[in-house]
Amino acid sequence: NTLYNVGNSIVTCNGPDSIVEYNHVHHGGLISADVSLLYTSMPSADGLEFRYNWVHDSLSPNHSLGIRGDDKTRGLRVHHNVLWNVAEDGIVTKGGRNRVYNNTCLANGASDIMFNSGPEKDKWWQEHVKAYQNQNEDSLLVNNCARAIVSTRRRVQPPLPGDHSNNYTESNPLLVDPARFDFRPEAGSPLIDAGRAIDGVTAPCEG
């Protein structure tokens, strides 16, 4: 699907065990103040996958995001997406038991990935869900091409929570032709053979 020119969020999915894939989603948040183009939240997101999507141009003037697992998200998977030109944060994952891997994030605003740490806020309508004292302590963040990965919006960043490694955070991943939507790594790219095997998803190179 191609979905674009929307005033608020473009795709909201609460799961569980749903799949949102192969969408080209862009130019959302045109008349709203706090928006993510692909959105979910709460334990109902358990098993939901946002995968193989192109997400760009989230343009709200305040809190404009690309893909968001909002308050008390549990068990969200975000993988193999490409995000660019998002005004604030490309990918945001709050909560716990989340898996964020093999995404490509380019030229976003405040951060490419916000992998939230610290205690969850107990807003009155969410008090029935037990809060994490340290968000994403049981989550996975690997194999992402994302120059800016943060855990809070504070100037001084605490360490990233959970299991995190093999993320490329340098400025030149050497992609074939992003201007024409070819996001494959070209020959000699530092992304090639730099990832980590994920059970059920990837396998080590052989030979």
Q: What are phi and psi of 10, to 5 degrees?
A: -100, -45
pTM, entire model: 0.94
pLDDT at 199 (0 to 100): 81
Low-confidence ranges of the chain (pLDDT < 50): 207
| pLDDT given for residue 207 in this prediction | 44
pLDDT at 62: 84
Going by DSSP bridges, is the β-strand pair 49-51/19-21 parallel, antiparallel, or unpaired? parallel
| 162-193 pLDDT tens trace | 999 999 999 899 999 999 999 999 999 999 99
Distance, C-alpha 103 to centroid of its chain? 7
